[in-house]
Chain A
Amino acid sequence: MNDRAQDQILLEVDAISLSFGGVHALTDVSFDIRKGEVRSIIGPNGAGKSSMLNVINGFYHPQQGTITYQGQKRSQMKPHEAARGGIARTFQNIALFRGMSTLDNIMTGRNTQMSKGLFWQALRIGPALREEIENREFVEHVIDFLEIQAIRKTPVGKLPYGLQKRVELGRALAAEPTLLLLDEPMAGMNLEEKEDMSRFILETNEEFGTTIALIEHDMSVVMDISDRVVVLDYGRKIADGTPEEVRANQSVIDAYLGVSHD
């Protein structure tokens, strides 16, 4: 864990409840994310992990509870507010712009950093052109960092799965996020790809001090790279603590291995 600013809370969700019709996706879930940490959210399928991320970045609006981000308390986020506030994310089922090149996809991540008006952009002159060039430079750094120079111009729809995941991470990193939400960044990857991805996540966290909230099913990865872990089951929080604490927790073991009802 990073030593600095360890105790500063970046995001706190308090008593969040979310339901769709009669289905309770989340019930009374509270936890916090500290500045600079890698915070994992784990749990069996359907536990409400992705719903939680969607609440944090404003795709879902919870019926109850509050979200406090950077000291600002609100009952719901809005997606573009979240993006402007420095929350970037990746998706469980890759959501890239399939028709665009790797470069263009990652450039969209700079959306919140660019502000020049429509008029300049329509003509692509003056301030808009300068802005485009500056941001392009930043994007090239991201591309170098993720080691994807070779596929800069390839339409992402043609890339293999593992690389698409990497491009999606690149798009999120291009936003220079304060809080990075990763929804199963290693799902469906082979061992080598998983190791690469773990390395990128850890380097992002260590070099740029980016706070990371991570959903992942691979327990060895989770235990390796997380500072703290929160465990959900059937939409409720059943455990919260360091990887060691969580591993030893009886209700977590029950949730994962099943418990006999005799």
Chain B
Amino acid sequence: MAFDLFLLEVVISGLMTGVMYALVALGFVLIFKASGIFNFAQGVLALFAALALYDFLSEDGWFFSLFGFTLPVWLAIPATAAIMIFLAWIIERSVLRFLVKQDQIILFMATIGLAFVLEGLGDLLFGSDVKPLNIGIPQGASDWALDTFNLYIEKLEIVAAATAAVLVIILAIFFQKTRIGRALRAVADDHQAALSVGVSLDKIWVIVWSVSGIVALVAGIMWGSKSGVQFSLSLIALKALPVLILGGFTSVPGAIVGGLIIGVGEKVAEVYLGPYVGGALENWFAYMLALAFLLFRPQGLFGERIIERV
């Protein structure tokens, strides 16, 4: 019995970590769906959002030194969202606009450049020390789960899971049932046809980058609350890569399921296989899984089937 409970705890903790991966992967999927670009800067976007949010909230930030007061959480989050939208606009104006008809690899290179610029900018503006982000998400273990089921679950992870669920539902409705959602799917499907019905590519790109900037903000909040705002946050982008390979680059549900599988997989592997291989399995398990997928199912679980014509 005790053994089973332990396994359950490991799985649940894996699921929760998976949700966090999925949040980052979601931002990748949005941009990839609408423009075919793998946005290397997604992780840095999450970092940047968390840094900006911290700045609004803390007394050693720019905002406090300029205005002499800090923002309450309910104002700081929309303000950070506004900054992410502004950032999306600047990226479209200064980078994407000039690369419209270029190969995808060139756009990919541009996002790598963007990642370094943003990381440098973040360092310059906010400093590179670890910052504790506290926006009032309850910390510690959930008493309810502990009392009722004798399970140890972090409250933060429950909040993260709920937030991710809400986010996915909103995004699904937005993509399926609204004009702009349809326009986004249209652009992803066929540029020319989208232009012919009056969709403006510039606008769509600003919207996509804004939406994925806001998703990055959510991811930044959750990761920042969990382990503090630090520059290694941008490295979770690397963990999102196997998630995307598993789920398929174009699928929103794929990002979620892929995140969960990786999260659970690496936790279970660490606990049960780790001792036999000297531990640290958690660090590379995801990549081995992704490698296996690349061999046997390169389009991922939910991705569009890749058909090459020769």
A contacts, CB < 8 Å to B: 57-59, 79-80, 82-84, 88-89, 91, 95-100, 104, 107-112, 114, 116, 118, 121-124, 128, 131-132, 135, 171, 175
Contact = CB atoms under 8 A, between A and B. Distances in A.
The 6 closest A-B pairs by CB, nearest first: A83-B198, A95-B193, A79-B195, A97-B189, A121-B178, A112-B198
Interface in B149-202: 170, 173-174, 177-183, 185-186, 189-190, 192-200
A98 B189 contact: yes
Given A100-B189, A124-B174, A132-B178, A118 B207 contact: yes
Contacts of A112: 197-198
Given A88-B197, A171-B197, A118 B180 contact: yes
Nearest to B181: A121
Contacts of B178: 121-122, 124, 128, 132
Interface of B: 170, 173-174, 177-183, 185-186, 189-190, 192-200, 207, 304
Nearest to B191: A95
A100 B185 contact: yes
9 contacts: A58-B195, A79-B196, A80-B198, A84-B198, A99-B189, A99-B304, A111-B179, A123-B170, A128-B178
A95 B190 contact: yes
Given A97-B189, A121-B179, A121-B181, A111 B197 contact: yes
Contact of B182 (A58, A107, A116): A107
Contacts of A95: 190, 192-193, 196
A121 B199 CA distance: 16
A31 to B, nearest CB: 22
Contact of A89 (B170, B181, B190, B196): B196
A10 B48 CA distance: 52
Contacts of A109: 197
A100 B193 CA distance: 13
A108 B180 contact: no
Contacts of A104: 182, 185
A84 B197 CA distance: 9
A80 B199 contact: yes
B286 to A, nearest CB: 29
A109 B197 CA distance: 6
Contact of B196 (A57, A118, A121, A132): A57
B190 A121 contact: no
Given A100-B182, A121-B178, A122-B170, A111 B199 contact: yes
Nearest to A122: B174
Given A91-B193, A104-B185, 12 more contacts: A79-B195, A79-B198, A83-B198, A91-B192, A91-B196, A96-B193, A97-B186, A97-B189, A97-B194, A111-B198, A121-B174, A124-B177
A102 to B, nearest CB: 13
B273 to A, nearest CB: 39
Contacts of B190: 95-98
Nearest to B250: A99
Contacts of B194: 97, 108
Residue of A59, A79, A89, A171 ringed by the most chain B CB atoms within 10 A: A79
Contacts of A98: 189-190
A59 B193 CA distance: 11
